[in-house]
């Protein structure tokens, strides 16, 4: 089974290196313009942009066809695994960086450079063609370390090999349903966590049987919240906890000396899980609920934690 490359840049710096007459091409030269079809999967709403870039690339290299396919975020992992098992997986994927290490064994690192052949007309009268070979240089690990924020290097460089290139940086945000806030008499979005909890309580509604029919927020679980890990890390960070120091995971270091639950990491965990505890005032969510984003779209969640690609 062939391993696949995580991502490539469709916009590269091209350097003219050599030229050959079209007649009497060597086998290697003929192979460089052999028709190729690449499949590109993306979980983001960037299909139009990618198709535009793919079209530009194919204009320069007519022997390369690039098919762009948008894959549902929630279905990507299963579809990707099955496609690779059947040897019909994509050649290029745009995926969330948190999936990179999980899929690392399925991927090939980026090469230092690639060479692409293309035929160009050198005589408009005779239509004689010449084979040009372009060398496309890809970013090095050193370049990534010096040109991007630190997390990019830490995430995509493994053993000095590059397994991906960043398409964008995103920030965890709180989206809110203005209609639900208005109905609950909430004049403006909360500016601190105490106000947030109070507003969640106002928007959460229960049936006569005690089931949640409207959630003030979707927090407290992991199975039905896409960004659960990031949200919990955010609460830990805001509590003053250092998740890592260098290459060492340190967020649980204070637990060894804890005599009670009044330590930052446990306070952060308690704050997060209280929203899924029926005995807590903040209770507004549980593991039986559908996916958080789906419920937010249906107008059943007041505050939703997510990223811009959810919009």
Q: Which domain holds residue 146?
A: 4-162
Question: Is residue 94 included in any domain, yes or no?
Answer: yes
What pTM was computed for the model? 0.69
Residues 140 and 42 in one domain: yes
Q: Report if residue 219 sits inside a domain.
A: yes
| Last residue in a domain, options 162, 195, 224 | 162
Of 1 and 140, the one with more pLDDT = 140
Tally of domains in the chain: 2
d(Cα 309, Cα 148) in Å, to the nearest integer?
A: 21
CB count, 10 Å around CB of 18?
A: 12
Segment 238-255 shows an average pLDDT of 70
Mean predicted lDDT score pLDDT of the chain? 85
Q: Average the pLDDT over 286-309 and give the result.
A: 95
Residue 259 pLDDT > 80, yes or no?
no
The yes-or-no verdict on residue 66 having pLDDT over 90 is yes
User: Domain boundary at 135, 162, 189, which?
Assistant: 162
CATH number, domain at 44? 3.40.190
pLDDT at 59 over 50: yes
Distance, CA of 141 to CA of 274 (rounded, Å): 42
Q: φ and ψ at 161, to 5 degrees? A: -110, 145
Same domain membership, residue 177 and residue 132:
no
Same domain, 12 and 155: yes
pLDDT of 253 > 70? The answer is no
Backbone angles phi, psi at 135, to 5 degrees: -100, 120
Indicate if the pLDDT at residue 127 is higher than 80: no
Residue 86 located in a structural domain: yes
What local confidence, expressed as pLDDT, does residue 12 receive?
28
Residue 6: which pLDDT band, with cuts at 50, 70 and 90?
very low
Asked if residue 168 is part of any domain, the answer here is no
Q: Of 93, 97, 132, 116, which is closest to residue 12 (Cα–Cα)?
A: 116
Clarify whether residues 56 and 135 are in a common domain.
yes
Does 167 map to a domain?
no
Give the domain-ending residue among 134, 162, 190.
Answer: 162
280 has pLDDT over 70: yes
Report which of residues 169 and 279 the model is more confident about. 279
- Strands of the chain (E only): list them: 4-5, 14-21, 36-42, 64-70, 92-94, 107-108, 113-123, 128-137, 157-158, 161-162, 173-176, 205-206, 212-217, 244-245, 248-249, 301-306
Average pLDDT value for residue range 132-150: 92
Answer whether residue 9 is part of any domain: yes
Domain assignment present for residue 129? The answer is yes
Does any domain span residue 213? Answer: yes
Residue 47 has pLDDT above 90, yes or no: yes
CATH number of the domain enclosing 184: 3.40.190.10
The whole-number pLDDT of residue 130 equals 86
Question: Which position has the higher pLDDT, 31 or 232?
Answer: 232
Lowest mean pLDDT among 10-24, 208-222, 246-260: 10-24
pLDDT of residue 214: 99
Q: How confident is the model at residue 19 (pLDDT cuts 50, 70, 90)?
A: very low
Confidence at 5, pLDDT banded by 50, 70, 90: very low
Given a cut of 50, is residue 126 above it in pLDDT? yes
Same domain, 28 and 130: yes
Mean pLDDT within 33-62: 93
């Amino acid at each position: 089974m062939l391993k696949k490359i995580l991502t490539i840049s469709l916009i590269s710096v091209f350097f003219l290196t050599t030229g050959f007459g079209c007649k009497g091409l060597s086998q290697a030269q003929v192979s460089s313009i052999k028709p190729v079809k690449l499949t590109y999967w993306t979980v983001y709403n960037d299909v139009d942009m990618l198709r535009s870039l793919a079209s530009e690339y194919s204009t320069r290299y007519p022997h390369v066809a690039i098919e762009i396919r948008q894959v549902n975020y929630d279905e990507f992992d299963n579809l990707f695994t099955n496609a690779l098992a059947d040897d019909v997986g994509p050649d290029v994927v745009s995926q969330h960086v948190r999936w990179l290490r999980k899929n690392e064994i399925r991927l090939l690192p980026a090469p230092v450079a690639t060479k692409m052949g293309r035929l160009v007309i050198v005589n408009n009268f005779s239509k004689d063609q010449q084979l040009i070979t372009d060398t496309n240089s890809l970013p090095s690990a050193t370049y990534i370390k010096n040109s991007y924020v630190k997390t990019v290097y830490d995430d995509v460089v493994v053993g000095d090999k590059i397994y991906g290139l960043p398409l964008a940086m995103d920030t965890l945000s709180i989206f809110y349903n203005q209609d639900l806030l208005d109905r609950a008499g909430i004049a403006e979005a909360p500016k601190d966590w105490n106000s947030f909890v109070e507003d969640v309580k106002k928007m959460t509604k229960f049936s006569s049987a005690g089931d949640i029919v409207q959630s003030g927020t979707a927090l407290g679980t992991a199975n039905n919240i896409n960004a659960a890990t990031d949200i919990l890390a955010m609460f830990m960070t805001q509590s003053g906890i250092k998740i890592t120091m260098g290459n060492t995971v340190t967020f649980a270091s204070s637990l060894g000396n804890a005599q009670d639950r009044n330590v930052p990491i446990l306070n952060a965990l308690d704050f997060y899980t209280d929203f899924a505890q029926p005995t807590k005032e903040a209770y507004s969510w549980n593991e039986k609920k559908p996916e958080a984003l789906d419920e937010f779209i249906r107008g059943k969640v007041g505050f939703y934690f997510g990223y811009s690609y959810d919009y």
